[in-house]
Amino acid sequence: MCRWAAYIGQPIFLEDIISRPGHSLIRQSQCATQCHTAINADGFGIAWYGEKPEPGLYRDAMPAWSDQNLKSLTATVKSRLFLAHVRASTGTASSRNNCHPFTHGRWSFMHNGQIGGYDAFRRAAEMMIPDDLYPFRRGATDSEALFLVAISEGLEQDPKGALERATARFEALARARGHAPYLRLTAALADGERLYAVRYSSDDQAPTLYHRWSDSRMGQAVVSEPLEEGEHDWSEIPQGAFCTFEGRDVRIEPFRPVACSIAA
């Protein structure tokens, strides 16, 4: 599975999350400790917010640890809100278009997890993307498809409800045509003002997810794995939770995808 990290708060250099900590995201791309896949070498990406409403985006299919441009970018760019991801493919090709985060307008989105048996119902999943959004389908991942379906379900007005409805549709497809585990999900999304995160699974094995406020940085980090070994002040996000981060405030609500039926 993939690893990711997100931040919201006072502007910091991207490297303060992505490369400088002892168990930074780049370190996790080489040696993750809380997932089945220790190596996450199938690409990486960063979406960050600056002066414009839309995020900047930098992605590549090479391993994060080998990209000198990434090191230079993270050392010189500051942001108050950003998403970063290192990828371990669950079946789709290693290409730039399949690297997270994905963006649309002011929204950015990244995902870790799996949708069981996706290859068996990929065409049906593609059909859930409306015609007006399908031109924005650049890659072949289930993650990008989930993001576009969430947009069609009203992400702009109701982020939690839209993601619940989109997740329910994908889980129903997996139950009807795929295989267990039907859906495991941690995801982060941002609209330029707020950071949202979700941890959910159709079984009791949701991928790990933590958050922590830093008084020194005056910001909140949300991560797949703690950024330093031995730090014990990270709070684990419970399974079945949707979180809204705005400044220091954290709101945690139940995440309950609404059941729906899909013809087998």
Whether the Cβ atoms of residue 83 and residue 107 lie closer than 8 Å to each other: no
Which strands sit side by side in the sheet containing 44-48, from one edge to the other?
A: 56-60, 44-48, 78-86, 3-13, 219-223, 210-214, 235-236
Find the angle CA(56)-CA(60)-CA(229) to the nearest 5 degrees.
Answer: 85
| Type of residue found at 162 | A
Residue 196 and residue 259: Cα distance in Å, rounded? 22
31 is catalytic: no
138 is written with which tokens?
A: 């650049």
Q: Which of 25, 72, 16, 14 is nearest to 47 (CA)?
A: 14
Burial of 134 (0-12, 13-18, 19+ CB in 10 A): exposed
Q: Which residue is catalytic, options 2, 31, 99, 243? A: 2
Residues designated catalytic: 2
